[in-house]
Amino acid sequence: MIVETDFNDSLKWYLKNTTSKGFYIVILLQVQQVARHFGGDYLFKNAQLEVQDHARVALVGPNGAGKSTLLKMIAGITTPDDGQIILGKNVQVGYLAQDSGLSSERNIYDEMLTIFEGLRQMEAQMHTLEQAIADPDANRSDEDYQALLKQYDQIQHDFSEANGYGYEAEIRGVLHGFQFPEETFTKPISTLSGGERSRLALAKLLLEKKDVLILDEPTNHLDIQTLTWLENYLQTYPGALLTVSHDRYFLDKITKEVYDMSRHTLTHYTGNYSHFLTQKSANLSLEWKAYEKQQAEIEKLQTFVDKNLVRASTTKQAQSRRRQLEKMDKLERPTNDASKIHFHFDIDQPSGNEVLQVVDAAVGYSADKVMVEPINFEVNKQERLAIIGPNGIGKSTLLKSILHQIPFLKGHERVGSNVSIGYYDQEQRNLHANKTVLNELWDEHRTTPEKEIRTLLGSFLFTGDDVLKVVSQLSGGEKARLLLTKLAMNHDNFLIMDEPTNHLDIDSKEVLEQALREFDGTVLFISHDRYFINQVATGIIELSTTTGSKRYLGDYDYYLAKKAEEEAFAQAAEVPVEVSDQPVTAQDNYKASKETQRAQRKLEREVTALEEQMATLEEQATAIQEKMTQADIITKPLVLQELQQDLEKVQADLAQTEADWEEQAMALEEFTN
């Protein structure tokens, strides 16, 4: 049950800081000994959680631990089986369920205006008073006139304090942040896609400014640009935040406390998610040390009892130690959290060096509505390329066009030799709703023994009767794991993946990251998870309406650095050189000098890195050439052909690196001349 109380009287306490200046910490809500159980089994029990004013709290844990269940209890949607949830008096709670969308018959802007109905009424009242004050024909006394002015001044003050003059600008700002431009404001909400409705629901909730904001996976359906905006917006949100998210960068940037839901209870940690991981690892290490120490003591005591209990001379000592063993509060063997998936991707045969080429392509669903063009890129053997860009730009459409599910509007693709493609569809349409988990795999691999299929399913956490579940009854996370199981079983050498981390918890994401890094094949994937991209990608393909496609070397961090560099150059080119009448001071010269030095050092580092890369590639080319001259290789044409392809790839990479080095070296030379 949810109890409302006045924390100001009962649960507010006074703290002293190091300067002996006191301050109050106000508790907005408390979770006290809360449990959810099913018969004799507990999903969680004795859960304790506290949210203070302006808090930034993350609730983490594996899928199925009960995070969303607890959030629903706090939001008042469901009732705890045990314990209670206490809300501060007049505390308003806003709740956004996972993948929930806004439903309304209004258009976008009118729906947002409903939040500020009180302000709009005050605004109308002000206009009425303004007309009354300005009416020259009004027959009233000076006293009535002064009372009218006083009433107007009070309403105007309240209106201004409540941001009455800025709420429409606030609406526009939030809508723009969620990628709703001005021309969409009159669009009926009923015509929006599911993802757009989800974004709009979050936008409305932010504008409502509740005391406690409960967000269950708020980063779903957000592209990287919108996600970055949301992070910055939440930094200054006036209320408290309680969020569940599998986005590690988001958790690191937003949260200052972490509650870990594992082992059927909650454990509190201070700091962001990265700090939580460090603390949890350290705590687990301490638990193991304490457990091992106690086990050694138990073994020592038991050995003494076994040896001496039957001896008359030592019976009393043995009995004493046996009583000591019986009274000992034995520690449970430390465990990590619930079972984790464990798998890897294998290939039946390697592909050729050139895996995919997309040439002068345009994608979309009709010739008059091209999403993005021109698209030009190559995917080579063992590369792992991430496709990024704003929502609606055509990323998924591009993958579907490559797979011949949707025709290119212009251009074409060319798939290399010996390439076998495995596809992970974010919409999970590659699954059959009426099949069981077991048959989803077995029907495609009839010659594979059932035991072998069950073993593979077990590595993806489908054990026992889980394999007999019907696909339509699976959760989003379970369907994601089943799709990954199918990919792992097919042994394709080219994986095309559309948002593979959707519905996966953080632990599962980490396993997937490792599996893809160790994969001997090639990967082309779409993701909005910046941490995942950083861990997996060896290159970035950016889609935009201005350039079409653009290829970047390296991981996501390197991409960000290059984008910042491009923007800096663009801004520098746009700013006109102004001749100032003011004399240049020594301080101005010093600041300019420091900026120049920083830019020069950055270029020096980039030039050095490129030189090292060139040296590595030259060594690789030399090694391949030497191998091609070996006696046992010369007589094998197929091996020679493969080595020649590898050599051409290395030489192409070397040429590109040399071009990049020349560009950066020339830029560096400008500093030294």
Render pLDDT for 619-652 as a digit per residue (tens, 0 to 9). Answer: 888 888 878 777 777 767 777 777 888 888 888 8
Find out whether 499 and 528 touch, Cβ atoms under 8 Å: yes
- Distance from C-alpha of 361 to C-alpha of 95, rounded to nearest angstrom: 43
Least confident span in 15-24, 175-184, 372-381, 486-495:
15-24
To the nearest whole percent, how much of the chain has pLDDT over 70? Answer: 90
What the block records as the tokens of 420 is 């076998």
Q: Render pLDDT for 449-463 as a digit per residue (tens, 0 to 9).
A: 988 889 888 888 888
Least confident span in 285-299, 334-348, 477-491:
334-348
Q: Render pLDDT for 511-521 as a digit per residue (tens, 0 to 9).
A: 999 999 999 99
Instruction: Give pLDDT, residue 2.
Output: 67
Residues 417-426 have a mean pLDDT of: 93
Q: 91 pLDDT band (50/70/90 cuts)?
A: very high
Phi-psi region at 263: left, alpha or beta (left = phi > 0; alpha = psi -120 to 50): left
What backbone phi and psi angles, to 5 degrees, belong to 65? -75, -25
Q: 585 pLDDT band (50/70/90 cuts)?
A: low
- Distance from C-alpha of 28 to C-alpha of 55, rounded to nearest angstrom: 9
If you search the block for the tokens 């709420």, which residue do you land on?
167
Instruction: Supply the DSSP symbol for 309.
Output: T
Instruction: Give pLDDT, residue 176.
Output: 93
Residue 339 has pLDDT above 90, yes or no: no
- Distance from C-alpha of 606 to C-alpha of 664, rounded to nearest angstrom: 7
Instruction: Give pLDDT, residue 18.
Output: 38
Find out whether 628 and 613 touch, Cβ atoms under 8 Å: no
To the nearest whole percent, how much of the chain has pLDDT over 90? Answer: 46
Helix (H, G, I), strand (E, B) or coil at 250: helix
Least confident span in 242-251, 533-542, 597-606, 614-623:
597-606
Q: 672 pLDDT band (50/70/90 cuts)?
A: low
Instruction: Give pLDDT, residue 16.
Output: 34
Which residues have a Cβ under 8 Å from the Cβ of 242 and sit 6 or more positions away?
51, 55, 57, 59, 71, 74, 212, 213, 214, 215
At 576, the amino acid letter reads: P
Model-wide pTM > 0.85: no
Find out whether 497 and 424 touch, Cβ atoms under 8 Å: yes
- Distance from C-alpha of 248 to C-alpha of 388, rounded to nearest angstrom: 18
Phi-psi region at 404: left, alpha or beta (left = phi > 0; alpha = psi -120 to 50): left
Give the DSSP per-residue string, 322-340: HHHHHH--PPPPP--SS--
Q: 237 pLDDT band (50/70/90 cuts)?
A: very high
Residue 12 has pLDDT above 70, yes or no: no
Q: Render pLDDT for 65-80 as a digit per residue (tens, 0 to 9).
A: 899 999 999 999 999 9
Instruction: Give pLDDT, residue 13.
Output: 38
Instruction: Give pLDDT, residue 40.
Output: 77
Find out whether 484 and 509 touch, Cβ atoms under 8 Å: no
- Distance from C-alpha of 519 to C-alpha of 497, rounded to nearest angstrom: 14
- Distance from C-alpha of 65 to C-alpha of 69, rounded to nearest angstrom: 9
- Distance from C-alpha of 53 to C-alpha of 586, rounded to nearest angstrom: 47
Residues 286-315 have a mean pLDDT of: 84
Residues 647-667 have a mean pLDDT of: 80
Instruction: Give pLDDT, residue 10.
Output: 45
Q: 19 pLDDT band (50/70/90 cuts)?
A: very low
At 323, the amino acid letter reads: R
Residues 111-133 have a mean pLDDT of: 91
Find out whether 506 and 513 touch, Cβ atoms under 8 Å: no
State the average pLDDT for the chain: 86
